[in-house]
Amino acid sequence: MKKVLSVAAVALALSATAVQANEGVYVGANYQVNNLKVKDVDVKKDTSTLNLIAGYDFNEYVAVEGNIGLGMSSESGTVSATRSYEFKQGMSYGINAVGKLPLHEMFGLYAKVGYGSSQVEFTQKEKGAKSATNKENIGGLTYAAGFQVNVMPELAITAEYGVFGESKEMGPKDAKSKIQSSGFNVGMKYKF
């Protein structure tokens, strides 16, 4: 009987520790509209990304969060009567420190800063010539500000605007340019 009680006590202690270890963990998803802008050229297009998020709340003010995204769309347009282009959004990832400001138990503000990278395929087509395709990584310092509404203690709806970096210079020598990325997203997260 003592052995059974000892095993039960150890199992109870371990299960309580496991529950406490998961207290700050959260997962989520958001739909993001990316605004891609080619510097030095009048080209702006929107693409979309579905992001999966995982994070850990250290306390009510500080968290760390990672995301991985899947590009969901492509956009095309024309620069002139003879030149056209197409953007295709690829995979993305990021890691951020999150500062939170709870305004009420139901809602609060937050800001993120970190590193992110996103792949974009940019194709330029010239009539009577071959098309040129560049696969570029847009990355570097990322930052965002957002608003969170707690629907239930474990479930929240989020909305944020962020700047996600820029690519290195690309294109022909006489027309070098960079792609800049910013965007808005709406999503949900579930806290364990």
- 19 within a domain of the structure (yes/no): no
- 14 within a domain of the structure (yes/no): no
pLDDT of res. 169: 66
* Predicted TM-score of the model (pTM): 0.77
Q: Parallel, antiparallel, or unpaired: how do β-strands 132-150 and 107-126 relate? A: antiparallel
96-137: per-residue pLDDT in tens?
A: 999 999 999 999 999 999 999 988 887 878 887 777 787 878
- 11 within a domain of the structure (yes/no): no
- 165 within a domain of the structure (yes/no): yes
- 137 within a domain of the structure (yes/no): yes
> At 15, is the pLDDT very low, low, confident or very high (cuts 50, 70, 90)?
very low
Per-residue pLDDT at 167 exceeds 90: no
- 120 within a domain of the structure (yes/no): yes
> At 30, is the pLDDT very low, low, confident or very high (cuts 50, 70, 90)?
very high
What is the extent of the structural domain holding 69? 24-191
- 110 within a domain of the structure (yes/no): yes
Tally of structural domains, the chain: 1
Residues contacting 106, CB < 8 A, separation 6+: 149, 150
Residues contacting 78, CB < 8 A, separation 6+: 84, 85
> At 17, is the pLDDT very low, low, confident or very high (cuts 50, 70, 90)?
very low
Rounded CA gap, 9 and 31, in Å?
A: 45
The beta-strand segments (E) located in 58-177 are: 62-71, 74-78, 83-102, 107-126, 132-150, 155-166
135-152: per-residue pLDDT in tens?
A: 878 888 999 999 999 999
- 82 within a domain of the structure (yes/no): yes
> Which CATH number covers residue 144?
2.40.160.20
Q: Which of 112-116, 153-157, 171-175 has the lowest mean pLDDT?
A: 171-175
